[in-house]
A and B are shown apart, each in its own frame.
Chain A
Amino acid sequence: MNEILKVKDLNVSFKDSQGLLFSHTVTKHVLKGVSFEIKEGQILGLVGESGSGKSTIAKAVLGLVPYEGEVIMDNAAPSMVFQDPAGSLNPAKRIGWLLDEALYLRGEKDPDERSNKVLEMINLVGLKEEHLKRYPKELSGGQRQRVCIGRALMSQPRLLIADEPVSALDVTIQAQILELLRDLQKKLDLSILFISHDLRVVYNFCDRLIILKDGVIVEEGDPKVVYRTPKDQYTKVLLSSI
């Protein structure tokens, strides 16, 4: 199996100025030497409490923050699904337009071809053609997240980065969205970097699991194995909290 994403010794730090009058800059290390890889068709779960640097990993992979270290990727750019589906869809645009734009921005000029692809995608994520004419606020949270996933997949990425994609949703809807992601992963042979703070969600969903604490990977392995025999103290604490 080939690696889709390989991260080697990733370091990210932010400079922060403190104090009002006599300010001095403090360097805050968010990620300290993180290394991992995602294989083709694999779902990698990235778990950690807030502030552990989960989202920073996603940002570094997408090139949104400056980093040190190596991020080796398949040539197709990864797509991203955000936590809040309501905020990540432009409220002034219709669903059809939002999906279409992803193709337009990729330089696909033929409108007929684009609308065919949009139609295909809306069906693929489990919505209907009639939803294309609606505005984001006219959809439920789960439907909105389906649209977000569909839009992310418009560019036919090999890797999908999902940053807490189900945290803002009800438990029943969570299950549906996870099922959809599983489905799509199989159909499209996607790899997914699944960021979550919830070990319960990750347990059934991911092929591999990384636990992050204060910017350091403390545990890595098959979720079932990690659950049964946690090696690190922090993992034990996390597991006991379930």
Chain B
Amino acid sequence: MKNRIKNINFILGASIICFMALFILAGKILPLRDPNAIDATLKFAKPSLAHPFGCDNFGREILSRVMQGSLSTFLIALGTVFIGTIFGVIIGAATGYFGGVIDEILMRVNDAIFAFPSILLALLFISLLGPGTYQVVIALGIAFVPSFARIVRGEFLKNRNMDYVKCARLMGASHLRIMVIHILPNTLRVLLNAILIGFNNAVLAEASMSFLGIGVQPPDPSLGRMLSEAQAYLFKAPNYALFPGLALILLVLGFGLMSDSFEK
């Protein structure tokens, strides 16, 4: 019964993400208005058949902006998680497997990075690198490395003393072979869960950074930026805030439900 609930969680989460993926894809395929095209006559147009989500304070099409914004949020989250996973796995595997001095040094650095909220850390990197989409990916990626490293390290620590690793050593397998071919596949379940949660956090982190104006730069749309712009017109045009918010919620909810189903 419990298993079934978790399966439902996964199916639900996966369908939401599929829906969002189709939504993003539709933005690329359908002949909609350019997300950055300004039209003064359409200023604050109410949602209608011609403009399903309405238009914003510059008369830009909210539908195509939400689509475009979801895409950039999604891509930034993907890049962030990718950087975090790659470096997190390398650091976590090395420290967990070998232990000793390297472990102590790297994990203390890790702790120091971990002690800062990831947004604050990303802000620090942005102030060094300057604002922009790629900078956000790098900054968030670095901020996400410690959490992955920690999880992977724990798994390697647990596995390295197991008999199957000793057997492989006895048969003459190299350390690299044991780490990559023997232990890594056994961490996949936990790692996958961490990746899904990481995705969640990355989506939120990107949105908050764009909300603060240091993420995706205007005029390009981003969910966080749209939300922050919509703040001023919350009563005049609630649809302006509603639709980007909804897209953000769906993205986070989808990944959240999927990661839930992986928990033991």
Q: Could you tell me which A residues sit within 8 Å of B by CB distance?
A: 62, 64, 79-80, 82, 84, 87-93, 101-102, 105-106, 151, 155
**Bound Cα distance from A102 to B170, whole angstroms:** 10
CB of B185 within 8 Å of the partner chain: yes
> Can you list 11 contacts pairing A with B, beta carbon distance less than 8 Å?
A62-B170, A82-B163, A87-B164, A89-B164, A90-B168, A90-B185, A92-B185, A93-B185, A102-B171, A105-B173, A151-B167
| Residue in chain A with minimal CB distance to B164 | A90
Within B160-185, the residues touching A (CB, 8 Å) are: 162-164, 166-168, 170-173, 182, 185
| Residue in chain B with minimal CB distance to A102 | B171
| Given A90-B185, A92-B186, A105-B171: 9 more A-B contacts, CB < 8 Å | A62-B170, A87-B163, A87-B164, A90-B186, A92-B185, A93-B182, A102-B171, A105-B168, A106-B172
| Residue in chain B with minimal CB distance to A97 | B181
Q: A90-B182, A91-B186, A92-B185 are in contact. Are A101 and B171 (CB under 8 A)?
A: yes
| Residue in chain B with minimal CB distance to A79 | B170
**Bound Cα distance from A89 to B166, whole angstroms:** 10
Contacting residues, chain B, for A89 (C-beta < 8 A):
164
Inter-chain contact B163/A84, CB cutoff 8 Å: yes
A-B contact count (CB 8 A): 42
Contacting residues, chain B, for A90 (C-beta < 8 A):
164, 168, 182, 185-186
Most buried by B among A62, A79, A101, A155: A101
Inter-chain contact B164/A80, CB cutoff 8 Å: no
Contacting residues, chain A, for B171 (C-beta < 8 A):
101-102, 105-106, 155
Q: In the complex, how many angstroms separate the beta carbon of B187 from the nearest chain A beta carbon?
A: 9
Partner pick for B162 among A62, A87, A93, CB 8 A cutoff: A87
Inter-chain contact B172/A105, CB cutoff 8 Å: yes
**Bound Cα distance from A50 to B170, whole angstroms:** 23
Inter-chain contact B167/A88, CB cutoff 8 Å: yes
Q: In the complex, how many angstroms separate the beta carbon of B10 from the nearest chain A beta carbon?
A: 21
**Bound Cα distance from A179 to B173, whole angstroms:** 31
**Bound Cα distance from A88 to B182, whole angstroms:** 12
Contact with A along B180-206 (1 / 0, CB 8 A): 001001101000000000000000000
| Residue in chain A with minimal CB distance to B178 | A90
| Residue in chain A with minimal CB distance to B188 | A92
Counting from the closest, the 5 A-B pairs by CB-CB distance are A92-B185, A88-B163, A87-B163, A90-B164, A105-B172
Contacting residues, chain B, for A87 (C-beta < 8 A):
162-164
Q: In the complex, how many angstroms separate the beta carbon of A15 from the nearest chain B beta carbon?
A: 17
Contacting residues, chain B, for A155 (C-beta < 8 A):
171
Inter-chain contact A82/B172, CB cutoff 8 Å: no
**Bound Cα distance from A84 to B167, whole angstroms:** 12
Contacting residues, chain A, for B164 (C-beta < 8 A):
87-91
**Bound Cα distance from A151 to B172, whole angstroms:** 13
Contacting residues, chain B, for A93 (C-beta < 8 A):
182, 185
Inter-chain contact B167/A82, CB cutoff 8 Å: yes
Contacting residues, chain A, for B172 (C-beta < 8 A):
105-106
Most buried by B among A105, A106, A155: A105
**Bound Cα distance from A185 to B16, whole angstroms:** 60
Inter-chain contact B185/A82, CB cutoff 8 Å: no
Q: In the complex, how many angstroms separate the beta carbon of A163 from the nearest chain B beta carbon?
A: 10
Q: In the complex, how many angstroms separate the beta carbon of A92 from the nearest chain B beta carbon?
A: 4
Q: A87-B163, A89-B164, A90-B164 are in contact. Are A80 and B170 (CB under 8 A)?
A: yes
Inter-chain contact A82/B186, CB cutoff 8 Å: no
Contacting residues, chain A, for B188 (C-beta < 8 A):
92
Partner pick for A80 among B162, B167, B182, B185, CB 8 A cutoff: B167
**Bound Cα distance from A132 to B36, whole angstroms:** 59
